Amino acid sequence: MAANIAGKKSSLTWAVHISVALLVLLWLFPTVGLFVSSFRTADQISSSGWWAALFPSEQNEVYRTGDPDENRVADGDMFVVTGNIFEGAGREIRAWGVSSKAVAAYQPGETAEMKDGESVTLQADGSYVWRGNDKQISGRGQRIFITATVPPEFTVDNYLTILFSGTGQDNMAKAFFNTLTVTIPATIIPIVVAAFAAYALAWMEFPGRALLIAAVVGFLVVPLQLALIPLLRLHLAIGIGKGYMGVWLAHTAFGMPLAVYLLRNYMVGLPRDIIENAKVDGATDFQIFTRIILPLSFPALASFAIFQFLWTWNDLLVAKVFLIDATGSTTVMTNQIVELLGTRGGNWEILATAAFVSIAVPLAVFFAMQRYLVRGLLAGSVK
Amino acid sequence: MTSLSLKNVSKSYGTVEVLRNIDLEIQQGELIVFVGPSGCGKSTLLRMIAGLERITGGELEIDGMVVNNVPPAQRGIAMVFQSYALYPHMTVYDNMAFALKLAGKSRAEIDTAVRAAADRLQLTEYLDRLPKALSGGQRQRVAIGRSIVRDPKVFLFDEPLSNLDAALRVATRIEIAQLKESMPDSTMVYVTHDQVEAMTLATRIVVLHGGNVEQFGAPLELYERPANTFVAQFIGSPAMNLLEATVTTAGETTTVCTTDGGEAVVPIASGASDADSNVKLGVRPEDLTITESDRFLVAATVEMVEALGETTVLYLKAQNGATSLIAKLPGIHAISRGTPIRLTAAPEKLHLFDNEGRSFLHR
């Protein structure tokens, strides 16, 4: 009986482990792919997949010896051209040849005998000796085909383009800071407002409190698209217009129901005795809020902050409606990536880099605060 | 001098009345224990004194001032909660200093008060710790220390020992008793459902039941002269036995006979109207003794025997199985199950209650 239960449990554990592993892979595969691609050139992206970029690869390359007319040196009745096919970084040569029909006919160090005593010797380091008579050592240089193992090669040029040197839409620096300008106030304002509201809804007695809580729950299920146009008309009518103020207010309004709901649920679960003790100690409601409730609600505040940060950062719709005007000077990253898709649709290296720049900050925020996210969510709703 | 006075205080939630017409006069320096079964309203009454529950009827006076509508902090009270209610994010020092900081005391004043209280409760070495790093007993002491620093007129304790294990409970009970002795001028109100705490700590006990005060008096008075069958059975362990009896002779002393031929002359006065009435004869288990004589109080059959060494507890059925009795005999007795025995008790240890459960002494 006990063994049965234990067996059941362990098979379930395996199922859990396997599904977790699958989820991790599902998330990791595209993210790592994007990350790797952002460090590759356009040619590399089009010639092989990102996974190939992580390992040394075999490539066939064509080189020419130095110009015989300038470089040849007499050696008895023969002429010799010596030199190195690699001008910059070397390659690890695995095989080579002198004809396009047999590109891998010789090993490094071997000598290729051609017609009428002409010969080429290629060493592993790329140095060659081309020997032949006057007629043979003339005209253009001898072609040398090599099969080489190329180490993984990465470049930060894409990032330089996107963040610093790019022109026009290629440069995301301004959009990056615009996004920060939208996101930080749009995260802080609703938290501050919602924390006050949540305290009142959780711990202050006033008529209509239950109705207000019900209304908050009701607002949770209202899709924000319903309110876009009326809200924009309101903003235009009262003179806020399109701009940062407008988008902050819009994000605040759209984030508020969840913020109030989460925080209120968390705060109402704090021990009543602590709050009553603070009352006996002489604390006013405001002091209870600032000295007791806020510090104790930190996990819930942090978890909502992560949420709000992530979706204001990734938001396109609200920014399009309330922020971005015809001048484009207030464009955010999501919008700029959409425009990049139009202008640089074929340049995957630019798109991948732009995408990675835009997900880097949310990733950092998420990993830095994920333990609060999990704790705050559980504490707030499940209890 | 009256420190705390409740005049006709009552509490109702909507139409549900949980406390009715509570009248208590508590003198300065007394330790009053509210005791009663769960749901009797004792915690509610304490919270009303603290100002955490609104008083829906009557008047509450602290030091001669009506404080019905005064917020808790200005009533001059300090409360120790059952769960300790320490602020989990503050150190022991900050926990104790919190009220004083709110009151705007100077840094030096706060430091003196906190260190004095910590010294008194042996908490000095824990001042920098967070509550989660303390044991249950230490947390309890911090909660008490937090109330001491405020130097209140009235201390309120809401079941402060119920979260502690048995050994620690005894130790902390003694600490509280010593604390009370070292502060003879402070009034304390202590809520518990544990009658041992009540008997050992209290100057006077308030027995609450169903929203009413059943009796208010010194611990031994409650034991020796319970006002009704509820108090009689609530105070004392095991509970007092109640036998069905009939008054045969009323007068200066009352003669009663139990239904199975037992008889007793009780030195309690009764009126002529009590003659032939049905009464309850109360006798505590520890007052019963076994007798062979024909002048017995009750004949019973042993149902179960608990031999504890220092005492032997007998569970008995009497009066044709209608009445369960408990007898607590000192020492070791070789009595087996099913044995019929006769029990008697000294007449002055007997209690008489009328049909409504009121004691003849308190009519």
Token readout for B154 is 């009235």
> What integer pLDDT is reported at residue A8 of this predicted model?
55
Share of chain B above pLDDT 70, in %: 100
> What integer pLDDT is reported at residue A264 of this predicted model?
94
Residue A370 half-sphere exposure toward CB, CA atoms < 13 A: 5
* B145–A contact, CB cutoff 8 A: no
Kindly give, in sequence order, each residue whose CB lies less than 8 Å from that of residue A363, ignoring residues fewer than 6 positions away: none
| Number of neighbours of residue B264 by Cβ within 10 angstroms | 24
Q: What is the phi/psi pair of residue B86, to 5°?
A: -70, 150
DSSP per residue over A210-265, as a string?
Answer: HHHHHHHHHHHTS-THHHHHHHHHHHHHTT--SSHHHHHHHHHHHHHHHHHHHHHH
> What integer pLDDT is reported at residue A381 of this predicted model?
37
Nearest to B247 by CA among B259, B235, B233, B230: B259
Contact A280 B51 (CB under 8 A): yes
Nearest to A276 by CA among B160, B86, B59, B92: B86
Return d(Cα A377, Cα A379) in angstroms, integer: 5
Contact B85 A273 (CB under 8 A): yes
Handedness of CA A364, A369, A371, A377 (dihedral sign): negative
Q: What is the phi/psi pair of residue A146, to 5°?
A: -125, 150
The answer to whether the beta carbons of residues A286 and A279 sit under 8 Å apart is no
> What integer pLDDT is reported at residue A130 of this predicted model?
86
* B86–A contact, CB cutoff 8 A: yes
In chain A, residues with a C-beta closer than 8 Å to the C-beta of B145 are: none
- Taking CA–CA distances from B52, the nearest residue in chain A reads A276
* B50–A contact, CB cutoff 8 A: yes
* A286–B contact, CB cutoff 8 A: no
| Number of neighbours of residue A238 by Cβ within 10 angstroms | 8
Contact A279 B81 (CB under 8 A): no
| Rounded average pLDDT per 10-residue block, chain B, 363 residues | 87 90 92 91 92 91 91 90 89 94 93 93 92 88 91 90 86 88 90 89 93 92 92 90 90 86 86 86 92 86 92 89 89 88 90 89 81
pTM of the model: 0.76
In chain A, residues with a C-beta closer than 8 Å to the C-beta of B150 are: 281
* B83–A contact, CB cutoff 8 A: yes
Contact B73 A274 (CB under 8 A): no
* B103–A contact, CB cutoff 8 A: yes
Q: Which helix (H) or strand (E) holds B330?
A: strand B323-330
The one-letter code for the residue type at A358 is S
Structure-token match 């309101």, residue found: A234
| Number of neighbours of residue A355 by Cβ within 10 angstroms | 21
The residues with which A79 forms a beta bridge, in sequence order, are: A74, A132
Q: CB contacts < 8 Å between A and B, how many? A: 58
Contact B99 A292 (CB under 8 A): no
Q: Could you list the pLDDT tens digit for every one of the 383 residues in chain A?
A: 444 554 456 678 889 999 999 999 999 998 898 888 889 888 888 878 888 877 877 777 788 888 887 778 888 788 888 888 877 667 778 888 888 888 788 888 888 888 777 888 888 888 888 888 888 887 788 888 888 877 777 888 888 888 887 777 778 888 999 999 999 999 999 999 999 999 999 998 899 999 999 999 999 998 888 889 999 999 999 988 888 999 999 999 999 999 999 999 999 988 899 999 999 998 999 999 999 999 988 888 988 898 899 889 999 999 999 998 888 788 899 999 998 888 888 888 888 899 999 999 988 988 888 777 666 554 433 33
The DSSP symbol for B134 reads S
The residues with which B312 forms a beta bridge, in sequence order, are: B307, B329
Question: What is the least distance, in Å, from the CA of B94 to any CA of chain A?
Answer: 11
> What integer pLDDT is reported at residue A9 of this predicted model?
60
Question: What is the least distance, in Å, from the CA of A272 to any CA of chain B?
Answer: 8
Contact B99 A281 (CB under 8 A): yes
The answer to whether the beta carbons of residues B187 and B1 sit under 8 Å apart is no
Q: What is the phi/psi pair of residue B212, to 5°?
A: -120, 155
In chain B, residues with a C-beta closer than 8 Å to the C-beta of A277 are: 79, 81, 85, 87, 146
Question: What is the least distance, in Å, from the CA of A53 to any CA of chain B?
Answer: 51
How far lies A32's CA from each of A35, A45, A333, B189, in Å? Answer: 5, 14, 20, 67
ipTM reported for the complex, 2 dp:
0.83
A179-189 per-residue burial string, b: 16 or more CB within 10 A, e: under 16: bebbbebbbeb
- Taking CA–CA distances from B77, the nearest residue in chain A reads A280
> What integer pLDDT is reported at residue A46 of this predicted model?
80
* A8–B contact, CB cutoff 8 A: no
Return d(Cα A82, Cα A68) in angstroms, integer: 10
In chain B, residues with a C-beta closer than 8 Å to the C-beta of A282 are: 72-74, 99, 102-103
* A154-188 confidence digits (pLDDT tens): 888 888 888 887 777 778 888 999 999 999 999 99
Q: What angle do CA B195, B201, B206 make, to 5 degrees?
A: 60
* A271–B contact, CB cutoff 8 A: yes
Q: Please state whether the peptide bond connecting residue B238 to the residue before it is cis, i.e. omega within 30 degrees of 0.
A: yes
Token readout for A35 is 């990350």
Return d(Cα B264, Cα A149) in angstroms, integer: 115
Q: What is the phi/psi pair of residue A182, to 5°?
A: -75, -45
> What integer pLDDT is reported at residue A328 of this predicted model?
79
The CB-based long-range contact list for B305-313 (8 Å cut-off, 24+ gap) reads B305/B335, B305/B336, B305/B337, B307/B332, B307/B333, B313/B238, B313/B285
Share of chain B above pLDDT 90, in %: 50
Structure-token match 């199975």, residue found: B260
Of the candidates B85, B86, B102, the beta carbon closest to that of A287 is on B102
- B57, burial (CB in 10 Å: exposed 0-12, middle 13-18, buried 19+): middle
